[in-house]
Amino acid sequence: MDYQELCLLVCIQARAAGKFIANERAHFDLSKVESKGLHDLVSYVDKTSEQQLVEALQPLVPDAGFIVEEGTSTKRGEHFNWVIDPLDGTTNFISGIPLYAVSIGLLEDNELVLGVVYEIGHDECFYAWKGSKAYLNGKEVHVSGTDNITNALLATGFPYSNFDQLDNYIALMKWGMIEARGVRRLGSAATDLVYVACGRFDSFFEYDLKPWDVAAGAFIVKQAGGTVIDFSGGDQYLFSGEIVASNQALSAVMQEKVSAFMR
């Protein structure tokens, strides 16, 4: 498989989905919003975008299945599976906050081999494929060189429904607020991850996430020279719901602190 050629084709489809989402935002009707669960919102825009992506990606790898947020396809592939979030940052989208993204990853035999995140508001397409560097709109990007937590800008997200570890999580964020340069919460995990990849953030951590939230972004971070682990320091971040993405210099301290607070 030519991963580079495939990745560039996926970028085209991510941008097409982004154009549809942007056009719908211009006249979005709040009455179309539905609730999937506690604080978990969805609209026809998410569903239509996902269906468009499923239909566009299917011919690119005919044997591939899909792991998708809105359930527009239940097909599973034996070797290949697309992992898609058609609109990461739905609450931002619904509220008119211009930070949300299309996220597309590809699994080959449980290994991520391709990632594309298109952040719509700033027209920024981040992408990488197996064996490549990481890119933003055609230019190579790399994680930051920050080597001291005091100078680090951290990013996180808040759980929507799983509050079992909320006290521990707040304690972890308090540590970040005191020890680091700052802590940001953008509302889109895919965007947080690619911001680590290009050095805007030095580290990102969150729990209660789904594979489609992190697949593409995590892959791009690794191709940009960063590290991605779960809270225990392992590599089960895709399906465990736990993720810590960092540059190389801060990976150890971030893993130490996250595991200490989120035990």
Q: pLDDT tens digit string along 218-259?
A: 999 999 999 999 999 999 999 999 999 999 999 999 999 999
The CATH number of the domain where 253 resides is what?
Answer: 3.40.190.80
Query: Is the domain of 123 the same as that of 194?
Result: no
Per the annotation, binding residues are: 69, 85, 87-88, 213
Query: Is the domain of 80 the same as that of 31?
Result: yes
Query: Is the domain of 95 the same as that of 195?
Result: no
Is pLDDT above 70 for 147? yes
Q: Is 129 exposed, middle or buried (0-12, 13-18, 19+ CB in 10 A)?
A: buried
Query: Is the domain of 133 the same as that of 160?
Result: no
Phi, psi of 118 (to 5 degrees): -110, 110
Query: Is the domain of 73 the same as that of 132?
Result: yes
Domain range for 90 is: 3-141
Query: Is the domain of 85 the same as that of 14?
Result: yes
Using one digit for the tens of pLDDT, what is the confidence trace for 97-143?
999 999 999 999 999 999 999 999 999 999 999 999 999 999 999 99
Whole-angstrom distance, CA of residue 210 vs CA of residue 108:
18
Domain C-terminal end among 83, 111, 141: 141
Q: What Rg do the C-alpha atoms of the chain give, in angstroms?
A: 17
pLDDT, greater one: 155 or 42: 155
Tokens of 108: 């080959």
- At residue 191, the pLDDT reads 98
Using one digit for the tens of pLDDT, what is the confidence trace for 21-71?
999 888 877 766 766 554 445 678 888 999 999 999 999 999 999 999 878
- At residue 139, the pLDDT reads 98
* Other CB atoms within 10 A of residue 74 CB: 9
Query: Is the domain of 16 the same as that of 122?
Result: yes
Query: Is the domain of 135 the same as that of 153?
Result: no
Per the annotation, binding residues for Mg(2+) are: 69, 85, 87-88, 213
Query: Is the domain of 155 the same as that of 248?
Result: yes
* Side-chain half-sphere exposure of 251, counting CA atoms within 13 A: 19
Is pLDDT above 60 for 180? yes
This prediction's pTM: 0.94
Query: Is the domain of 245 the same as that of 127?
Result: no
Query: Is the domain of 137 the same as that of 210?
Result: no
Query: Is the domain of 131 the same as that of 165?
Result: no
